[in-house]
A = this chain, B = another copy of it.
Amino acid sequence: VRRLRDVGEHAWLATLPRRLPRGSLAAGIVVGAGDDAAVVRARPGRLLLTTDALIEGVHFRSGWSSPRALGRRAFAVNASDIAAMGGRPRWALLAAEVPPATPVRELDAILAGFAAAARRDGARVVGGNLAAGRHLALTAALVGEARGRVVTRAGARAGDGVWVTGALGACGLAVRRLIAGRGGRLPDPPSRVRAGERLATVASAMIDVSDGLAQDLGHLCRASGVGAVVDLARLPVAPACRRALGAAAPRFALAAGEDYELLVTVPRARERALVRLAPRLGCRLTRIGRITRAPRRVALIDGTDPRRSRARAGFDHFR
C-alpha cells in the first residue's frame, strides 16, 4: 500500500491539476488548483461564503463512511449552508489534515468524492491545502452565488408556517447504531440546493438542520425574535427511524442532528405560491408548525401527550 508519507505532500499535490479543472470559462475558472490562489470570475451580484469541517473523532469515526462518501459529505455539509440562504455553490476549497500513514488511494477517494459532490451541485473544486496531522480533518470553504432572494434566519414573523424538507432522524439513528457497534454507514446528506433556491422565493427565514431540528429552529427563532410551536405528530420521520424506534421516533428525530434538510418559514400570504412550487423541489415538504410571538420559545404539541411541553429554544435543553 502506498501511503502519503511515501509519496510526499508535493508529489501528491502535483497530481491535482490533472484531476481537477484548471481554466474552465464555463465554470468561471481563470486559474484552477495548483497556484497560490485560484482565480475565478463571478457574475455581478451577491456572493455567499461559508466554511464547515468534518473532524475524525468528533464528527465521524474511522469506518463510518467510505473515503469517497466522506469526501462527498465534506462538500454536502457546506453546500447545505449555501442552500439555506437560497444560493448555489460555485467554487470549493478543501483543506485536508491527513495522518502520514494514510493510503494514497484513500486521500484520492476523498478528493474524488468531494469533487463529484461539487459537480453534482454545479460547483467546481478550485484549490485546497494538504497538511500532515494526527487525525483526519476535512475543512471545506464554499463560495456560492445568489441569483434571486437571499434568505437569512432573521425574517420569521408570528403566523408564518414552519416547514421542513425531506425526512428527519436517519443520520441520528445511523450514528446511534455505529456508536453501539452495530455496524452500518452514515447516510449521504441530501442535496437541497435546488429546493433552497426555489423556497427562497417565498420564505421569510431559512436554516439547514445540522444540529437537530429543535436546536436549529431555536437558532432561527432567536435570530428572528419570535417563538414557534411544533406539532410532533406532523414531523416527517425517516422510515428507518420510524421502524426502529416506533412511538419514540418523532422525539428522537426532533433532536437528531446532521440531517441537512431545510427548515423554512413561509408567511400565510405566500402559502399558495409555496404549494405551487412544492412539486418542483425534488423532495417532500411538510408543514410542522407555526411561528408565534413568544420570543425564543419553541413549544411542542405532542399527540401522545396532550399537555404542551414548553421549552427554551436551543440545544442545551435537548441534550
Contacts and interface: CB of A to CB of B under 8 A. Distances in A.
Contacts of A38: 48-50
A127 B31 contact: no
Interface stretch (A79-87, A174-182, A246-254): A79-87
A184 B208 CA distance: 45
Contacts of A87: 37
A48 B37 contact: yes
A183 interface: no
A50 B131 contact: no
B34 A46 contact: no
B152 A55 contact: no
Most chain B beta carbons < 10 A, residue from A46, A50, A87, A142: A50
A177 B80 CA distance: 45
A91 interface: yes
Interface in A267-292: none
B127 A55 contact: no
Contact of A58 (B57, B81, B127, B133): B133
Contacts of A158: none
A76 interface: no
Interface stretch (A111-119, A143-151, A165-173, A228-236): A143-151
B97 A55 contact: yes
A16 interface: no
Given A39-B46, A314-B10, A51 B81 contact: no
A279 B105 CA distance: 49
A307 B37 CA distance: 37
A261 to B, nearest CB: 13
Interface in A122-157: 126-129, 131-135, 137, 139, 141-144, 146, 150, 152-154
A223 B314 CA distance: 51
Interface string A191-223: 000000000000000111000000100010001
A43 to B, nearest CB: 9
Most buried by B among A82, A85, A146, A206: A85
A187 to B, nearest CB: 21
A81 B127 CA distance: 12
Contacts of A37: 48-50, 81-82, 84-85, 87, 142, 144
Interface in A41-98: 41-42, 44-53, 55, 57-59, 80-82, 84-85, 87, 91, 93-95, 97
Interface of A: 8, 10, 30-31, 34-42, 44-53, 55, 57-59, 80-82, 84-85, 87, 91, 93-95, 97, 126-129, 131-135, 137, 139, 141-144, 146, 150, 152-154, 206-208, 215, 219, 223, 314-316
